[in-house]
Chains A and B, each alone.
Chain A
Amino acid sequence: MSVETESGGPSGADDPSSDEPTNVRAVLAQELAATDFRLILVTLLGVYALFAVFTFASGNGMGALKSQYTRLSFLFAAYAVLSLALNLQWGYTGLFNIGVAGFMAVGVYTMSLLSTPPDAISGQGLGLPLPIGIVAGMIVAALVGLIAAVPALRLRADYLAIVTLGLSEIIRLTANSKTLSDWTIATFGFGTGGGSGTDLPARPTNTLVETYYAANNTLAQRAAWVIVMLGFVIAIYWLLVRVGNSPFGRVLKAIREDELVAQSLGKDTRWFKIKVFMLGCALMGLGGILWQGSQSYVSPDSFRPIVTFYVFIAVIIGGSGSNTGSVIGSILFVGLLFEGPRTLGNIVSSAVNLGSPPGTFAGAVEPLLVFNFAPFLAFLIDNISAFRFILLGIVLVIIMQKRPEGMLGHRTESAAAIDLGRDTPGGTTGGDHDE
């Protein structure tokens, strides 16, 4: 009987402020919550330490490390929000949504239409206050999710995948359309900017940094935004733990395991799926706003399907069905797979003089015949971005083959609302991910 790590009893997760544990169960729950927190912290510190080594090894100083850490933390937070949202849909409920990028785009573009100042250069908005834009972005993302979910949920699980992928491409093509943007500007006075992208409202933290800390310190402004994002990550994590442990969450897990059984227990599983799909899509919209919407400018290219697959890889590494796993998966994905190879490539190319890389694969392979490996290595480092994608693909396949439950994806859930036993770390009795 292993329990999902973060679902360590309702009291611990729900009420972290209680300093004095009153009974054994509360102590246990707090301990488990601490274990979760510790896992995330250790992973985070490990990746930070690794990058400190990377940065110093490539001969850069503290300044480079600071901006590297800000960039890493920004991506951690962005992927954590998205993978938590995806985990709610896929990990908890088994809804296979591969249109994450599309829902992000809906959030960002809605926010842009409402909150970008009307005098912006590219694209134009209504200039409403930012909170209205953000909330509206989440609501519209949820509504688009509803449109996708209502019909698609009647279909086979993999049809939902294809429908959501198609929908996200439709959304991207719509945002990319110059015709539509021109027409809406002429008719309503706001537009999406088409393929050349659109300006976005500035981060609200920027003015705070300028007033109280230093003017025009872009690193400080970015760091301040990262702190806001981390706040959102914690809030969403808390929300999803609450959802997962509620009766609502137990129905979701029941749907994932066997929808027919959940139905025969009198649950309207379709309605549950629709609600959870909408909630997840709203959070994806929020994730899009926190990530792409915070960068003063956005173009449809930021919402290619590959972004969805990044989020998927993060969730799969962490283990679907575990919120802690989603956060850890995001950290590992960004640190080891996304940023790591590039940084490592920089170190190698600065440490070893491999000569100028050959322009084509033929030029790289030919010297191999006379056992000259330097041009090939230089070619690989020159094409590190392609190499990174290959690595991603291989990692994905290996995880699915060897450890489909990821790092923390325990599929055995306690049926009882109270905690019946301690979790065995890494104990996996669950099956695979097919639903």
Chain B
Amino acid sequence: MTQRFERSLDIKNGRVDMTHGSGGRAMAQLIDQLFAKAFDNPALAEGNDQARLAIPAAGRLAFSTDSYVISPLFFAGGDIGSLAVHGTVNDVALSGAKPLWLSAGFILEEGFPLADLERIVTSMAKAAQECGVQIVTGDTKVVEKGKADGVFINTAGVGLIAEGVDLSVHNIRAGDAIIVSGTLGDHGVAVMAQREGLVFDEPVLSDSAALNGLIDNMIKSGVAIHALRDPTRGGLATSLNEMARAAGVGMRLNEAAIPVRASVRGVCEILGLDPLYIANEGKLIAFCPVAQAQTLLTAMKGHEHGREAAIIGEVVEDDHAFVEMTTTLGGQRMVDWLAGEQLPRIC
């Protein structure tokens, strides 16, 4: 094919400008020389306005979408690009589906450096490859300077749920064990620390990761998993309250069993925050009958993203759908919904 563009994209020094979203030659060049090059796959290469995809087997589709708006765009342990892949892959995989395809929509702010955009896109491509999904269709819009925060990304994902797999919050019942796949609050604290310029002896890294491999191991264990959820915004406490309400059950947690890194606890102590309410991007909560919990725990610990998995409580009958916790001191307390944003304490 002859060279379509007289000059190649100046990624090193260039910046996003309004022409990159205009639908003209500049936009085509951005797509060709950055997005399509990084996400390279047959469906994308067809160059149609839609991806045409052959469904590989019988089963049900799982379909999810999420938008990613984060400051800073690059943080310890990840960036907005890998986050946009991991987040949607996880949302699809939590249904027990094998994630297959993603779409990627970019809203770019005029003036955003092309080098940073390339870094983000490369990170997305790498994340997609690592978790075995293809980015098969996309969209680009450019907004005037000041009308966005660098880059916003929307991803939608499609996966296939195998016959016989049925993970849903409505399956949760009294007598289920509550299991988390690892330490809580790492992502939220990593981002907050970077945003506020906090420096610690032991840096806290985001836990951003795709969990489809771990979930695959869990399903293969043969345990009757009732439901999975990733405790992202609002953290563990908010996810459990949502699930308790949806399933019409109560939950009892044991504070001493909940894994939180010492460094994360330290940051939370300084700022007056509760790690139970802080966002995670590479963790899941699992529900299964108590009798099978140890088997599931063993399966989880056999995967790199489940090494620090722990049984943290159980589901109980409770019409109020309260989430309660036995504190490390042996007292009882509510673990309530988060009201608004969690705010650092004043003194």
Query: Is chain B found bound to chain A in the same assembly?
Result: no
Q: Which residues of B contact A (CB under 8 A)?
A: none
